[in-house]
Amino acid sequence: MKVGFIGIGAMGAGVVRNLLAAGHEVAVWDRFPEPVAEAVAIGASAAASPFEAAQFDVVFSMLAHDDAIQSVLIDSGWLVQLKKPLIHVNLSTISVNYGKKLGELHDVAGIDYVGAPVFGRPDAALAGTLHLVVGGRAELLGKLDTLLTAISKKVWHVGEQPFQANLVKLAGNMMIACAIEAMAEATALGTSHGIDRNIMLDLYLDALFPCGVYRGYGDFIRRREYEPVGFKLPLGLKDVRLALEAGEASRVPLPLAGAVRDSLVMAMANGYEDKDWSSLAEMSYARAGIKREI
């Protein structure tokens, strides 16, 4: 199948590679030339514009946030100029309110739209083991099956409305942030009583939480080093804020998310904005007066 891809980045690069490996033809566009050149080197074709990347039956987009999508796909006139029929699959993590707006704008334009944010870091994108959280009409998923299975370990259809996938994704990221905070607070408490955090983490990750999220982020906390970056701290802060926004809109209190947001803000203030978002763990150590080992 011929498809377009708009907005490559660290995550999108792996997705494009797996689409190509599955035998699909992919035309790519990004505002930076380097990721486009890298995609072309492995078999993609370069599109001169986002509009040119959407001259097929399906176009994927993976832009950083609401404002980027608004600028590239809406304010530019891209959406209203597209040929029909076309399915737009939006892999970005965006706010619930903006997800609803995009659904309405696509309906007006007569373009089929699917929200499909992902769980997984760049290594999972490259390995094709992402979990896709999909919102959209079931008949559209049938048309997209070969594409979605090429880039993921599993597709989770969570609702008929595209924005519902955005809500599930934000709630999941909120849970990850809370898990990081919980491991940090527990090991800070243990350290203050003379217990090796490595022993604590070995125990917790074997007996209580033997899963990828705890093991992956537990390793950052174990080392107290927050590179290589899989998900930058400002993006984590954005997602927790969006979860809180969604909670406020539906009058659902999220007290844990509020506490984690404060830790993320504190980490930003302490210069961790270029580190992995698991660096929020350092704020638990700072509050406990535990210095980093030399």
The answer to whether the CB of 125 falls within 8 A of the CB of 118 is: yes
C-beta pairs of 268-272 under 8 Å, 24+ apart in sequence: 268/233, 268/234, 268/237, 272/226, 272/233
Half-sphere exposure of 206 (CA within 13 A, CB side): 6
DSSP state of 235: H
Furthest CA-CA distance within the chain: 65
**Secondary structure of 17-49 in HEC code, one letter for each residue:** HHHHHCCCEEEEECCCHHHHHHHHHCCCEECCC
Can you tell me the distance from the alpha carbon of 270 to that of 286, in angstroms, rounded to the nearest whole number? 10
Given the residues 169, 232, 238, 275, the one annotated as active site? 169
Can you tell me the distance from the alpha carbon of 25 to that of 18, in angstroms, rounded to the nearest whole number? 11
Can you tell me the distance from the alpha carbon of 150 to that of 110, in angstroms, rounded to the nearest whole number? 27
Clarify whether 169 is annotated catalytic: yes
Which residue bears the tokens 């007996």?
A: 207
- Tokens representing 271 are 């210069």
Q: Is 249 exposed, middle or buried (0-12, 13-18, 19+ CB in 10 A)?
A: exposed
The DSSP element (H or E) to which 176 belongs, if any, is: helix 162-192
List the catalytic residues.
169
